[in-house]
Amino acid sequence: MELAISVIAGFMILGAIYAIHARDLLSAVIACGIVGYSLVICFLLLKAPDLAIVQIVVETITLIIMVAVVLDSSREEAYGKFDRRAWITAGTAVAILFALFWFMWMASADLSPLGDDTLRMANAYIDGAVESTGSVNLVTGVVFDFRGYDTLGEATVLVTAVLGVLTILRIRGRKG
């Protein structure tokens, strides 16, 4: 399973790199879709169907909206010149990449194999969830009972996003 996830993660990295460098914005959007749908397969392999359902539906709707936006605006990407500043940015990015790999290399000796360990918090949830919430689906029990504040925050963020979209689009639509 680790091999499969590694291969899928490789695909995701390739898709992300292509999305950055594509000259046609429509193919860049489709390449972003590779990342999202590969993530769905990763969630399914890691036995998280709740997340997989949400991810596949949200990814599809986002892709529809992005394709509509790209088709209505420009399909060409605006390119800048590759000057000294760009070299400094690229050098910093590569340095950070190597630093992260080095830390990962140092930490990997102490990690336990994939799927062997659960956190102490997660163990407390797993042990008493069905008795204390009455919900057979553990995820719903955690999301709406143990972590109700979190869910309320998410819902509020969604409402705020809708209010922001309505405010911006309505004002500009009235002027135009």
Partner 1 sequence: MTVIVKKTTQLIAGIIFLYGIYIILHGHLTPGGGFAGGVILAGSFILLILAFGSDFLHLLREERGSTLYENLAILIVLFLALSGLLAGANIFFGNWLPHGTPGELLSAGFLPLYNIFVGIEVAASILTIFLALVIFKEEVMK
Contacts of 19 (CB under 8 A, 6+ apart): 28, 29, 31, 32, 35
**Smallest distance, partner 1 to C-beta of residue 68, A:** 7
Work out whether 74 is an interface residue with partner 1 (CB under 8 A): no
Question: Which of 10, 49, 91, 128 forms a contact with partner 1 (CB under 8 A)?
Answer: 49
Q: How big is the site for partner 1, counted in residues (CB under 8 A)?
A: 44
Query: Which stretch, 21-29, 79-87, 109-117, 150-158, contacts partner 1 (CB under 8 A)?
Result: 150-158
Asked whether the CA dihedral 26, 30, 33, 35 is positive or negative, the reply is: negative
Burial environment of residue 15 by CB neighbours within 10 A (0 to 12, 13 to 18, 19 or more): buried
First-to-last alpha carbon distance for the chain, in angstroms, is 54
Please report whether residue 71 would count as binding partner 1 according to CB under 8 A.
no
Q: Which of 22, 28, 30 is nearest to 63 (CA)?
A: 30
* CB-nearer residue toward partner 1: 22 or 66: 66
Q: To the nearest whole angstrom, how small is the minimum distance from the Cβ of residue 143 to partner 1?
A: 7
Chain length of the chain: 176
Shortest CA distance to 143 belongs to which of 151, 132, 135?
151
Which of 8, 14, 36, 145 binds partner 1 (CB under 8 A)? It is 145
CA angle, corner 137, sides to 135 and 143, nearest 5? Answer: 85
The nearest distance, CB 164 to partner 1, in angstroms, is 10
Q: Which of 7, 54, 78, 90 binds partner 1 (CB under 8 A)?
A: 54
What's the Rg (C-alpha) of the chain? 22
The residues of the shown chain that bind partner 1, judged by CB under 8 A, are: 49-50, 53-54, 57-58, 60-61, 64-65, 68-69, 72, 130, 133-137, 139-141, 143-145, 148-149, 151-152, 154-156, 158-159, 161-162, 165-166, 169-170, 172-174, 176
